Amino acid sequence: MKTPGWRIGTLSGVPVYLGRSWVLVAVVIMALFGPTVQAILGLGALSYVVALVFALLLLVSVLAHEAAHALVAQRVGFRVSRVVADFWGGHTAHDAGGATPGRSAAVAVVGPLANGVLALLGWLLLGVLDGDVARLLVLAFTWANGFVALFNMVPGLPLDGGFLLEALVWRLAGERSTGTWVAGWAGRVVALLVVLWGLLPVAQGGTPSLTRMLWVLVIAWFLWQGATQAIAAGLRGRTAARVLVGDVARSVGVVEPTALVADTPWSQAPLWVVQAPGAPPVGLVHAGSLGTVPEQERAVAPVSAVAVRMPEGWAVRMERGQTSDKALDVMRATGAGVVCLLDEQDRPWGAVLVDDLSRGGRPAARS
């Protein structure tokens, strides 16, 4: 499977990655902060070296934020699979099986708290530091962490404050999907407020700078996208709570990874689970996608070469009469848009796709 970036370490057994898009972050920070350093300190080309150091300090802040999420997630019993720092800041992927409003809130709140602690440490350092370069870097570091701590607490998904709002509504309504839906709409409101803030100079008779508007649009777009995904997830959750697995499950075939593409009767099922004897399912093949495989290669290509490798935990035991909540929880935990359904002997009997839950359920295709 493709990794999310360069692996730079391990935290409590969890791999930590630096996303390839972070290089763009460093370039943008150097381009924006370098002229500021030059204007204040007059260091010439060295101003951009100082700006690069600031970018690295911000990376430390992101990693501290995500490390707090990861460690508390482990503490409350979640299985954390990776920590990533990238263009959008960072994210911590964890299996939230057994989540409660309290546990979810605990994981959410510690990220901004970590940035608050870093801001406090920076403020304390300012009182003892000598040297213009060091003081400028620490001052910028302090302000950046203070801003991240406060902004992340704004109650709207995908911000950490949005997860706190989700947990609150979840606790009051007794249903997580309702909390997700409410926090998603709150996130859209936050995105619009960010745009209005960006346009504030216009209302005051001025003109907003290009840099200001670019940052505002990027942040607002990020918030709107995350909020929209949260709203969709909330609606899927409502659907999953009332739809039986048997009503949305698609029939599947089972094929070994070493089988040849040409020897597999693809027309017998729309989806095929890749599973070796005595092993858990590891991949999925959409029969309709095989048209991209040249005829001359089908006689020699193994199924493993055309299968989509699925994450660990994507296959679970479920009965037709169960509601689809568990399948949705598995999707959240794995990040996959499909769940393989197993019987009591761990044999695949069907699959649930996230699109089917989004549409409110559909009659399952039968073999």
Q: Kindly report, residue by residue over 86-106, the tens digit of the pLDDT.
A: 887 888 988 776 789 999 999
pLDDT of residue 364: 42
Q: Which residue has the higher pLDDT, 3 or 126?
A: 126
SS3 category, 309: strand
Q: Which strands, in side-by-side order, build the sheet including 6-11?
A: 6-11, 14-18, 79-86, 89-95
Neighbours of 77 (CB within 10 A): 13
Q: Which of 66, 175, 295, 344 is catalytic?
A: 66
Contact 297, 324 (CB under 8 A): no
Which residue type sits at 283?
A: G
Helix axes 160-173, 176-198, angle to 10 degrees: 140
What is the rounded average pLDDT of the residues 30-46? 94
Nearest by Cα to 321 from 247, 250, 252? 247
Q: Which residue has the higher pLDDT, 180 or 287?
A: 180
**Unique residue bearing structure tokens 């509504």:** 169
Question: pLDDT by residue (tens digit) across 66-91?
Answer: 999 999 999 999 888 889 998 878 88
The torsion angles phi and psi of 271, rounded to 5 degrees, stand at -130, 145
SS3 category, 154: coil
pLDDT of residue 211: 82
pLDDT of residue 168: 98
Distance of alpha carbon 248 from alpha carbon 360, whole angstroms: 9
Q: Which CATH number fits domain 245-358: 3.10.580.10, 3.40.50.970, 3.20.20.70, 3.40.50.150?
A: 3.10.580.10
Which residue type sits at 295?
A: E
With left for phi above 0 and alpha for psi between -120 and 50, is residue 137 left, alpha or beta?
Answer: alpha
Distance of alpha carbon 323 from alpha carbon 13, whole angstroms: 34
Residues in the chain: 367
In the predicted model, what is the mean pLDDT of the chain?
A: 91
pLDDT of residue 39: 94
The torsion angles phi and psi of 342, rounded to 5 degrees, stand at -115, 150
* Confidence check: pLDDT of 363 > 80: no
Task: Write out the E strands in the chain.
Answer: 6-11, 14-18, 79-86, 89-95, 252-255, 271-274, 283-286, 308-309, 315-317, 338-342, 348-353
Q: What residue spans define the domains of the chain?
A: 6-242, 245-358
What is the rounded average pLDDT of the residues 238-244? 85
pLDDT of residue 289: 79
**Partners of 285 in the beta sheet?**
272
**Partners of 284 in the beta sheet?**
273, 308
> Buried b / exposed e across 323-356, counting CB within 10 Å, b at 16+?
bbbbbbbbbbbbebebbbbbeeeeebbbbbbbeb
DSSP structure string for 269-282: -SEEEE--TTS---
Residue 366 pLDDT level (bands cut at 50, 70, 90): very low
Query: Catalytic annotation on 66?
Result: yes
pLDDT of residue 299: 86
The HSE-up count of residue 342 (CA atoms within 13 Å, CB side) is 15
**Unique residue bearing structure tokens 């679970």:** 316
Distance of alpha carbon 120 from alpha carbon 238, whole angstroms: 42
pLDDT of residue 367: 33
Rg (CA), the chain: 24
Residue 206 pLDDT level (bands cut at 50, 70, 90): confident
Residue 1 pLDDT level (bands cut at 50, 70, 90): very low
**Unique residue bearing structure tokens 């602690």:** 117
Contact 231, 212 (CB under 8 A): no
Helix axes 46-75, 132-152, angle to 10 degrees: 40
With left for phi above 0 and alpha for psi between -120 and 50, is residue 66 left, alpha or beta?
Answer: alpha
Residue 226 pLDDT level (bands cut at 50, 70, 90): very high
Which residue type sits at 292?
A: T
Which residue type sits at 290?
A: L
Contact 259, 361 (CB under 8 A): no
pLDDT of residue 107: 97
CA end-to-end span of the chain: 30
Question: pLDDT by residue (tens digit) across 126-159?
Answer: 989 888 999 999 999 999 999 999 999 999 999 9
pTM of the full structure? 0.80
